[in-house]
Amino acid sequence: MPKIRFGLILQNYVAAGESIHPKELVAHAVKAEELGYSSIWVWDHILLGSKNVFPVHDSLTILTAVAARTEKLRLGTGVLVVSLRNPVVLAKQIATLDNLSNGRVTLGIAAGWYQREFQAVGVPFDTRGRTLRTNVEVMKRLWTENTITGTYGKHNLKNTTMEPKPVQKPHPPLWMGGYIDRVLKRVGELADGWISYFYTPESFSKSWQKVVMSAEQSGKEPGKMGNCDILPTRLDINAENGQKVVNSFITKYCDLPAWSEATPKSMIAGTSKDCTNKIEQYIKAGVQELVLIPAVEKLSEIPEQIEKLGKSIIPSF
């Protein structure tokens, strides 16, 4: 059976009325490295929620802190809303983070979905897909070319040089999130990997084949494309209790896109054996990395779940 890696989501956003300190998140990442996780991932929003506001810590700031405290973990964004950012400034931030971490960045990207966020930042929402393409092109050129010249909307780059370049060559891998066929095609064309969210093994396999097909049509080597599935996970005394906690966690913290096949049925929950059996299904579906969201009843339980999963599940694979 093919090997699989395990990543960990840091809960850098919480529900209205809750809080989690950035130092706690960094401590979770340090513990994850000790336990053998391959990567840590952070959510990304600048603003989230109107009536019920979800407090959220900045994704790249958290990753910078983690980079300074760890040596091996890959650092992923799941996913960074690139269309909201100035691509020149973002290219500089990512290049610096890649140098700080000695080449451990995996930049998960997407066009975004929360219109209020775009309005607040002053970026057009309706053209976010085109903006994503443009911003990716600008960043790639700044990372890989000595000097570039070009006009990209408001960005007038004349004999522009950005140094230092990222450690990873030609640049940090760009993984893209998305579900509908148009976006899956874009993943194959523009990205180096696909980020899935709450997909069952069956849904993952079906959509992954579309990404692979698009990559082939774009002249890429599909075997070099990466992927992951971000899933709610709970190690518990039995499957019934584990599923109950996960469902409650999803209701409180998660938004499953109606236009996708994301579903609570994707969860990994129950005893060590229950979890292992479900993970084997994901491996057969072609998942290269499972990014685990520790499902808890209270935020204070997160370290316990990180340790249980790290000691009971990861060594099995």
Q: Given CA atoms 225, 226, 229, 230 in this order, what sign does their dihedral have?
A: negative
Is pLDDT of 35 > 70?
yes
> Are the beta carbons of 4 and 290 closer than 8 angstroms?
yes
> 5-316: what fold?
TIM Barrel (3.20.20)
Q: What integer pLDDT is reported at residue 299 of this predicted model? A: 97
Q: Rounded CA gap, 229 and 292, in Å? A: 8
> Are the beta carbons of 10 and 76 closer than 8 angstroms?
no
Give this prediction's pTM: 0.96
Q: Please, which residues bridge with residue 231 across strands?
A: 292
The predicted-structure confidence for 85-108, as pLDDT tens digits, reads as follows: 999 999 999 999 999 999 999 999
- Tell me whether residue 315 is exposed, middle or buried, using C-beta atoms within 10 angstroms of its C-beta: 0 to 12, 13 to 18, 19 or more: exposed
Sorted by where each begins, the domain ranges of the chain are 5-316
Is pLDDT of 50 > 90?
no
Is pLDDT of 147 > 80?
yes
Segment 62-90 shows an average pLDDT of 98
The predicted-structure confidence for 187-239, as pLDDT tens digits, reads as follows: 999 999 999 999 999 999 999 999 999 999 999 999 999 999 999 999 999 99
Q: Given CA atoms 27, 97, 197, 46 in this order, what sign does their dihedral have?
A: positive
Token code pair at residue 22:
């950035």
The predicted-structure confidence for 118-137, as pLDDT tens digits, reads as follows: 999 999 999 999 999 999 99
Q: What integer pLDDT is reported at residue 1 of this predicted model? A: 65
Q: Tell me what percent of the residues of the chain surpass a pLDDT of 90.
A: 96
Which candidate, 194, 159, 155, 189, places its Cα nearest to that of 175? 194
